[in-house]
Amino acid sequence: MPRSTKKATRVAIVTGGAKRVGRAIVERLAEAGFDIAFTYLSSDRDAKKLVEILRRKNRRALAIKADLTHPDAARIIATEFRSTFNRLDVLVNNASLYLPSALSQIDKDQFAKLWTIHVWNPMALCREFESMLRQHRGHVVNMVDLLAEKPWPEYLAYCTSKAGLANLTLGLSRELSPEVTVNGIAPGVVEWPEDFPEASRTKYLKRVPLGRAGTSKDVADLVHFLATDGSYITGQIIRVDGGRSIT
């Protein structure tokens, strides 16, 4: 019997993929032909709807409910992932907790929670998926933040954890070479936090040379590029900030 020459479908996993930026990444990769797993925590309804949308587009889709504050979350996610998929090409560490964390208010548990979500579990997920990613010459994209290099005092602990993720990105890019690329994306603003006051938006945008916020699509298109054509790019933190970092 002739061997099939059909190429296997690539698979991506996106943490925090039910809404906002994560959802745009999921939809962009699905549109490019990837089958998709994504994690979510509280957005059950959005997750269910997104799975239906992806399946209607003939993509295999799996939503995994997981709390990334749990130190074992990566193992739990990987086990569920493997029950459906036998390969992984792209891991996007997107889930995040934008927690106000000024010097006067942050406590040790909250500090640890931010580091568990933004640093520990992205690293643990890379370890869980290392062999699949190496086997398929895969890509890791970590969602960092411009605040990792320009910290806001009101979000001290959040900023340190994103700086940790930026550093982890560089370390992992060396560790997982030459088979796997590892990059970070550092947005300025691409989706406003809910309830972000209008006056604060205007104030922020005054310092953005392009004069406007970015969009989830800006990020999703870059993830897609890094996950497909950008195969000679690794160990980079790419700003998507309308030029905010130079003002």
Ligand X SMILES: NC(=O)c1ccc[n+]([C@@H]2O[C@H](COP(=O)([O-])OP(=O)(O)OC[C@H]3O[C@@H](n4cnc5c(N)ncnc54)[C@H](OP(=O)(O)O)[C@@H]3O)[C@@H](O)[C@H]2O)c1
Residues 138-157 that bind ligand X (CB under 6 A): 143, 145
User: Whole-angstrom Cα distance, residue 61 to residue 58?
Assistant: 9
Q: Residue 117 or 176: which CB sits closer to ligand X?
A: 117
Q: Under the criterion CB under 6 A, does residue 18 sit at the interface with ligand X?
A: yes
Residues 217-246 that bind ligand X (CB under 6 A): none
Cβ 237 to ligand X, closest distance in Å?
12
Q: Under the criterion CB under 6 A, does residue 190 sit at the interface with ligand X?
A: yes
Q: Residue 154 or 179: which CB sits closer to ligand X?
A: 154
User: Whole-angstrom Cα distance, residue 77 to residue 195?
Assistant: 31
**Token representation of residue 148:** 């990792």
**Binding residue for ligand X (CB under 6 A) from 61, 94, 180, 238?**
94
**Binding residue for ligand X (CB under 6 A) from 10, 12, 14, 22?**
22
Q: Under the criterion CB under 6 A, does residue 169 sit at the interface with ligand X?
A: no
**Binding residue for ligand X (CB under 6 A) from 21, 62, 78, 114?**
21
Q: Under the criterion CB under 6 A, does residue 68 sit at the interface with ligand X?
A: yes
Q: Under the criterion CB under 6 A, does residue 189 sit at the interface with ligand X?
A: yes
Helix (H) or strand (E) holding 140: strand 139-143
If binding means CB under 6 A, how many residues of this protein chain bind ligand X? 26
Q: Under the criterion CB under 6 A, does residue 187 sit at the interface with ligand X?
A: yes
Q: Counting every residue, how long is the chain?
A: 247
Cβ 203 to ligand X, closest distance in Å?
16
**Binding residue for ligand X (CB under 6 A) from 49, 60, 67, 217?**
67
Q: For binding to ligand X (CB under 6 A), which residues are involved?
A: 16, 18-22, 40-43, 66-69, 94-98, 117, 143, 145, 187, 189-191
